[in-house]
Structure 1
């Protein structure tokens, strides 16, 4: 019994470090990411894998599903789709407004606009520092296990910052 307890004590810090810095599971609650996540019955909760290492290496891109801290309640985690990065211009649905994403910020939205509290409905641009992980896989339920696709909703991103930079290099610096 002593040996088992000792082994558990030795492994626990390693497991905590892996979950905190590299990869960890998280449950998805709510309907803001339907049909991508929680597409089952009302009470379904998908279990996803959060890739935290990618965020530390700045390996995220437009269209990724991400795990982030709520700008209003830092103890609450949200899962949204990353639509725009600093310097990008996005359209605001239902209006003629466009928004330029400021430096150090991003624009996030749920896939189910009627059920999502996000950049367009409440937060506006959110700090990149709030991003905790990318969501590459659904782990549970087994019937839905697999890769989470990265994609952009059509017509939302007007200009990507890297396109603006390419235009400047083609036509000379402003």
Structure 2
């Protein structure tokens, strides 16, 4: 069952914040009066927790409001600066592996309101070749990661494993032929280096028939995305375009690799995402 962690964190921020404000208005002045009436030595003898319980402050109020600052810091950083994600599938192989933990720049595509994802301060717009995280259009509680191929107005074609944008073939160079694990089985693939704008990255093509071919014209306010694991990716070829308001940010760094719970984490993949 999917759940929206961003929504849960926002609710925690609002609830603990409400208790913090309630305490500041109702109980903090009473505590101050009690402390002012106490001898200096008695004040020193009280630890911080004991001070919070003065003036009959309910324990549940003191407990809940104590989490506000840390939740506010996490909420602010995660909403406006950088957000961590874990790669759950092989759709972005070989760029990103299952178990990679990545960081996403949240302000590069504009400062957005948490949960609503509405842009309040525009910055830059997404570029072809960016690795982007977005809310899945068919279920916004899910976050997807793909490579941005088509901008609004672009004409994208994918036939016979060849990608073109606005009639221009994307530069493609064969690097190797490998046998790799593509969830759920092991199969031979060709590894290519592709160039899209100023971005160079690697892709996989299997020897199977291309699962989805066609031509698409990207509507205004939307983007066309594909996985680097071209024949093993559910992307815009299957479920359509990503609305601009669903964009969350650009993935820019792998900081940890941990593919199984009972395995040891590794830093072997650490580095910038191309």
Correspondences of 1:70-89 after superposition (within 5 Å):
70-89=136-155
Correspondences of 1:1-174 after superposition (within 5 Å):
2=49, 9-38=68-97, 44-56=98-110, 57-94=123-160, 97-120=214-237, 122-141=238-257, 142-149=267-274
Higher RCO (Cα < 8 Å, 6 or more apart): 1
Q: Deviations over 1:7-27 (max 9, x none)?
A: 764233022111012101111
CA distance in 1, matches of 2:69, 2:140: 31
Q: Deviations over 1:10-59 (max 9, x none)?
A: 23302211101210111111000000001xxxxx4100001111121234
Q: Which has the higher strand share?
A: 2
Larger radius of gyration: 2
Give TM-score scaled by structure 2 length.
0.48
Gaps of 5+ in 1: 39-43, 150-174
Count of paired positions: 142
Could you tell which deviates more after superposition, 79-88 or 11-20? 11-20
Task: Determine the structure 2 residue equivalent to 1:153.
Answer: none
Runs of 4+ in 1 over 6 A off after TM superposition: none
CA distance in 2, matches of 1:97, 1:11: 49
CA distance in 2, matches of 1:99, 1:111: 18
Q: Deviations over 1:121-172 (max 9, x none)?
A: x1222212111110011111311110001xxxxxxxxxxxxxxxxxxxxxxx
Task: Determine the structure 1 residue equivalent to 2:35.
Answer: none
Gaps of 5+ in 2: 1-47, 53-62, 111-122, 161-211, 258-266
